[in-house]
Structure 1
């Protein structure tokens, strides 16, 4: 499912996505499609650019705190020009790697992508299978190599984001029991560090 397009970057691995609304297309994304911690892929017709995680959002409403004069009653639709909604939903996305190959041979390369993603690049929500493939290396073995990168670049909620991703990977069925156990230990260690850090 297409979510929107890239409109700005804060850094080489931190991009802002403008969400498609009902004025852009009929089947615009629903709130459940772009929640905190959702995996997304930045793809155009020519190439695959990167894989990212939604780590923050912002509702942009230019009418907020607009104290100008207002109509005392509902406007007459016959004499009122069409009003364009200027509200926007922006999604902050941290890039965590790329997805190589296709279908059953696909695998992930974790880390900061080398290329700069162009403005207006379409952004899509990744399927469960694509997310699973991204967490496999070239030898089709499980990997989670963006752990430290996510903790540094995941914004204010980096620890919670990393913990949520780990929990979802532990609960996913495709991974073997031993791999899920290793991810669970990593998740518990992060949870302990977060709790101890808040007590200092």
Structure 2
């Protein structure tokens, strides 16, 4: 069963590894309402799925790239901005690319929706749409089949989260602890993990 569609970001255009994918953001030339900068920040949870067809994976935005083919171009330039009335085919071919590390999948079980953490087995196809996950979906992803909280992709994220893996993991822990999704002992466990990682990051910076 497909999951509820949230804000669309764009589509998968390539992969760097089995769990490292690149998402190209939709722009105003492709959709009426392209995603806003606040929709795809560092540490944002995204889901790769085809609505009404198949859910593929859950990931986290760990990097971004701005692609501008005009940068350092040595070709001739116009002395002023072109008039769109006379240059209808001129398109600003700038792109925003997001690096997404896959951390698991959402499972639609018999009793509830829950998360399966780790590297997904299947390969996500090119052009698979990417969406921002809702708070409810993030909560379900961090619950196991029995409804208990889980954070089993901790070590995987530290290894595969790119140059800023430690900062990414710490931010995710902090936002989960402060987001009101978990309470009591589950919230305290997240806070302890966050403080421990913060201490490790501080000590590593002092070396």
* TM-score between the two structures when normalised by the length of structure 2: 0.92
Alignment of 1:145-160 (within 5 A): 145-160=152-167
**Partner residue of 2:4?**
none
Alignment of 1:50-65 (within 5 A): 50-65=57-72
The DSSP-based 3-state class of the residue aligned with 2:144 is: coil
* Larger helix percent: 1
Distance in 1, matches of 2:197 and 2:185, equals 19
CA-based RMSD of the aligned residues comes to 1.5
| Residues 51-86 of structure 1, C-alpha deviations (whole Å, 9 max, x = no match) | 000000000000011122222344455543431121
Alignment coverage as a number of residue pairs: 200
| Residues 119-143 of structure 1, C-alpha deviations (whole Å, 9 max, x = no match) | 0001110000000000000000000
Cα displacement (A) at 1:197: 1.1
The DSSP-based 3-state class of the residue aligned with 1:155 is: coil
Unaligned segments of structure 1, at least 5 residues = none
Unaligned segments of structure 2, at least 5 residues = 1-6
Cα displacement (A) at 1:174: 2.8
The DSSP-based 3-state class of the residue aligned with 1:193 is: helix
**Partner residue of 2:3?**
none
The 10-residue stretch of structure 1 (37-46 or 99-108) with the greater mean CA deviation from structure 2: 99-108
Is 2:47 the counterpart of 1:41? yes
- Provide runs of 4+ in structure 1 moved above 3 Å: 73-81
Name which of 188, 191, 197 aligns with 2:198.
191
Distance in 2, matches of 1:37 and 1:116, equals 22
Is 2:4 the counterpart of 1:2? no
Would the aligned equivalents of 2:84 and 2:90 in 1 still touch at CA under 8 Å? no
The DSSP-based 3-state class of the residue aligned with 2:14 is: strand
**Partner residue of 1:26?**
32
Cα displacement (A) at 1:165: 0.3
**Partner residue of 2:115?**
108
